[in-house]
Amino acid sequence: MGSHLKYYVNKFVGTTNIGLIFAIAVIFMGLSYFSPTFLTLSTLEVIAMNYVAEGIMALGMTIVIISGGIDLSVGSLLPFSAILVATFFNMQMGMPLAIALTLLISITIGLLNGFMINRLKADSFIVTLATMIGVGGMSLILSRGGTISGFPIGFSYLGLGRIIGVPLPIFLFFVFALIIGVLLKRHRYFYQAYYIGTSTQAARLCGINVEQFRLFIYSFNALLAGVAGLITASRYLSAGPNFGVGIELRVIATVIVGGASLSGGRGSIDRTVLGMIFLALVNSIFIELGLPTYWKQVVFGFVIISAVVIERYLRVKRTGVEESWQDFMLTSR
Amino acid sequence: MSQAIIILKEKREAQLLLLNLIIAGLLAIFFPGSFPNPGNLRALGVGMVYDALVAVGMTYVLILGGLDLSVGSNVALTSVVTTLLLARWGITSVPMAIAMGLGLSATIGAINGAIITGVSLNPFIVTLGMMAIARGVARVLSAGFFITDLPASFEVLGNASVFGVPLQIILTLGIIAVFDFLVRRWSVLNRAYFVGTQPDNAETVGINVGRVIFVGFIISGLFSGIAAIFLSSHLGIGYSQFAGGMALRALAAAVVGGADFTGGKGSVWGAFLGVLLLALVSNGFVQVGLSAYWEQVVNAIVLIIAIWAASFSEK
């Protein structure tokens, strides 16, 4: 019995980010002690809603990063999909068609990312940077630099509606997280991400179609960014090119803080969810305690660096495998 | 003649130079009144000085196999601190304040380098953290406001002209020329190419790879600092929102200039010509009278062509 328990404890500690769970618990207890309004359902809801777009996008980004890539283009895909759907609505298009077309265009941009990474044999960082700049430009062209409104009334359900008492975006996030998490752990096709991220050449030798997987994962990631864009547009009932500036870096930070490695091969959905809860809580500290928000960015920066340092320290201690910093330079990708 | 064609096929700098000359030539032919006039050229030059300095620093870090996302925030923080020193913190000597500002920017780079090599972290996440920290500190210090009331002598550097050419353009070209010479000829800086291509072998032959990378990030920080001084001096203010999105812009320019994420590639003049190309394209938009909204799309296409050209020359 005792050895069983030890086995499960070890397994749990080995697969999750124990330092992050501890930090989340500390912040949670601290906030409920210092802020009388924190432990209410409505406050927790607001905290979650303020980070839900990042959360949804982080799910796809996790698989991209596990497979050794990175996708900056989601940062301008979010405002682009919001602007696209608004443009379609202003063209008197029906809601299902407008949403379907928007998501289809998002997927196409993702496919384009995957295609260019495959064909140009270039680093995903720089290819998706180019797409990010280009898509950002298309947002400006479509919106003429301003904000678009004029959404049909029913559209607000996506961002403001509720399902079994939970706000729809948060519900969607958990459904996506569950499905993607299970698929990534159990399904052969998704699990390829780990092989590709560890060694693309070895994966190829094992008969994995790396190019096809890339096309799939970048379009999947773009689809999630499109969904996040729709939710954002629906929440504010407006769309502008300045929505979510720098969101791509927050999304990547969420995945990395969860414990994924930018050199690929490591990471999981449950870790990313932990990262999201942690950063959403850190984000809320300032509002909850009434501190000046200017400090928010400073703390955010410290927090992501220290979270990664601590995760690494604990991992090296547990596994005994020392990692050279050279393995972490971009060259090794 | 055939030799010229070979150089043109293999040298990114030669391709860029030719491309820049063609674009400038076309603009001069089609807009003889507005393009080659001194006012426009001066605006073009001043507009690219800051990007060029930052892109050169970024290129050096890319050659090492690294990446520095904190350059834009470094510009903002250095600008805020240097101007605060003069306006509120009682430093009366302008050179002193500039030296302290440059010291700060180098320190930011040194912290990046120390964490990356000391704690073994990916430069992406470290400089991402630094990007947030530096921008945040700049906002805290300035409370989001412009910092004004600067001594007139501080504004000389960014606004003086020599024979009609703005001083900051001359200084930038000088700094870039000296840095290019050092990177090509001085073994201490030239090691970056070896380190970026084969870090393991560099370690084996006795190069202290950690130190080369540490120095690389200091250099990148310093270039941001110089850009910050020129920018605040030119506009006569310090501001925490300066250079937003500059890191990604500098990266794009560096890649157009021939740098690569695999390390070991890129050159100082390549980065400069990359910035010049993007600046000429943007100036062309103004000349043609096209909507500036299209500019980003064209920038993206330029970047993709550069990536495509790089993949082409590798085969």
Q: What CATH architecture does domain B16-314 belong to? A: Orthogonal Bundle (1.10)
Task: Mark A160-188 as b/e (b = at least 16 C-beta within 10 Å).
Answer: beeeeeebbbbbbbeebbeebbeebeeee
Q: At residue A101, what is the residue type?
A: L
How far apart, in whole angstroms, are the C-alpha atoms of residue A162 and residue A173?
Answer: 13
Inter-residue contact B61 to B68 (CB < 8 Å): yes
B148 pLDDT higher than 80: yes
Q: What integer is the mean pLDDT of A57-67?
A: 94
A60 pLDDT higher than 70: yes
The per-residue pLDDT for A323 is 64
Q: A14-23, A278-287, A296-305, B293-302 — which is least confidently predicted?
A: A14-23
- Pick among A129, A325, A327 to test the B interface (most B CBs inside 10 A): A325
- Interfacial B residues in 2-61 facing A (CB < 8 Å): none
The percentage of residues in chain B with a pLDDT greater than 90, rounded to a whole number, is: 38
A327 pLDDT higher than 60: no
C-beta atoms of A144 and B260 within 8 A: no
The percentage of residues in chain B with a pLDDT greater than 70, rounded to a whole number, is: 98
The per-residue pLDDT for A2 is 61
pLDDT digits (tens, 9 = 90+) for B254-295: 988 888 888 888 899 999 999 999 889 888 888 888 777 888
Fold of A37-325: ABC transporter involved in vitamin B12 uptake, BtuC (1.10.3470)
| Contact residues on chain B for A256, CB-CB shorter than 8 A | 125
Looking at per-residue confidence, does A175 or B5 come out higher? A175
Q: Which one, of B302, B258, B268, B304, lies nearest residue B284 by Cα?
A: B302
CA distances for B133 relative to A254, A324, B72, angstroms: 16, 26, 12
| Contact residues on chain A for B314, CB-CB shorter than 8 A | 121
The per-residue pLDDT for A11 is 66
Helix, strand, coil shares of chain A, percent, nearest 5, are: 75, 0, 20
Mean pLDDT of chain A: 86
The per-residue pLDDT for A156 is 84
- Interfacial B residues in 150-209 facing A (CB < 8 Å): 196, 199-200, 203, 209
How far apart, in whole angstroms, are the C-alpha atoms of residue B284 and residue B279?
Answer: 8
Q: Which one, of A102, A96, A101, lies nearest residue A83 by Cα?
A: A102
Half-sphere CA count of B120, side-chain side, radius 13 A: 13
Distance from CA of A10 to the nearest CA of B (A): 26
pLDDT band, residue B187 (cuts 50/70/90): confident
pLDDT digits (tens, 9 = 90+) for B17-73: 888 888 888 888 888 888 888 888 888 888 899 999 999 999 999 999 889 999 999
C-beta atoms of B199 and A295 within 8 A: no
The per-residue pLDDT for A332 is 41
The percentage of residues in chain A with a pLDDT greater than 70, rounded to a whole number, is: 93
The per-residue pLDDT for B315 is 45
Distance from CA of B192 to the nearest CA of A (A): 13
The per-residue pLDDT for A65 is 93
The per-residue pLDDT for A324 is 59
Distance from CA of A149 to the nearest CA of B (A): 20
Boundaries of every domain in chain A: 37-325
| Contact residues on chain B for A253, CB-CB shorter than 8 A | 125, 128
Q: Is B295 on the interface with A (CB under 8 A)?
A: yes
For A324, which residue in chain B has the nearest alpha carbon? B120
C-beta atoms of A120 and B200 within 8 A: no
The per-residue pLDDT for A242 is 82
The per-residue pLDDT for A331 is 44
B298 pLDDT higher than 80: yes
Q: A5-19, A182-196, B38-52 — which is least confidently predicted?
A: A5-19
- Pick among A74, A125, A326, A332 to test the B interface (most B CBs inside 10 A): A326
pLDDT digits (tens, 9 = 90+) for A121-136: 888 988 999 999 999 9
A115 pLDDT higher than 90: yes
DSSP codes, A86-145: HHHHHTT--HHHHHHHHHHHHHHHHHHHHHHHHHHT--HHHHHHHHHHHHHHHHHHHHTT
Q: A287-291, B215-219, B222-226, B262-266 — which is least confidently predicted?
A: A287-291
pLDDT band, residue A333 (cuts 50/70/90): very low
Cβ burial, residue A320 (10 Å; 0-12/13-18/19+): exposed
In sign, the C-alpha dihedral spanning B180, B95, B245, B120 is positive
Task: Tell the residue number behind the tokens 């501190």, with chain if given.
Answer: A291
Looking at per-residue confidence, does A310 or B274 come out higher? B274
B91 pLDDT higher than 50: yes
How far apart, in whole angstroms, are the C-alpha atoms of residue B139 and residue B144?
Answer: 5
C-beta atoms of A330 and B69 within 8 A: no
- Interfacial B residues in 52-91 facing A (CB < 8 Å): 64-67, 69
SS3 A244: coil
- Pick among A80, A261, A283, A331 to test the B interface (most B CBs inside 10 A): A331
Distance from CA of B212 to the nearest CA of A (A): 12
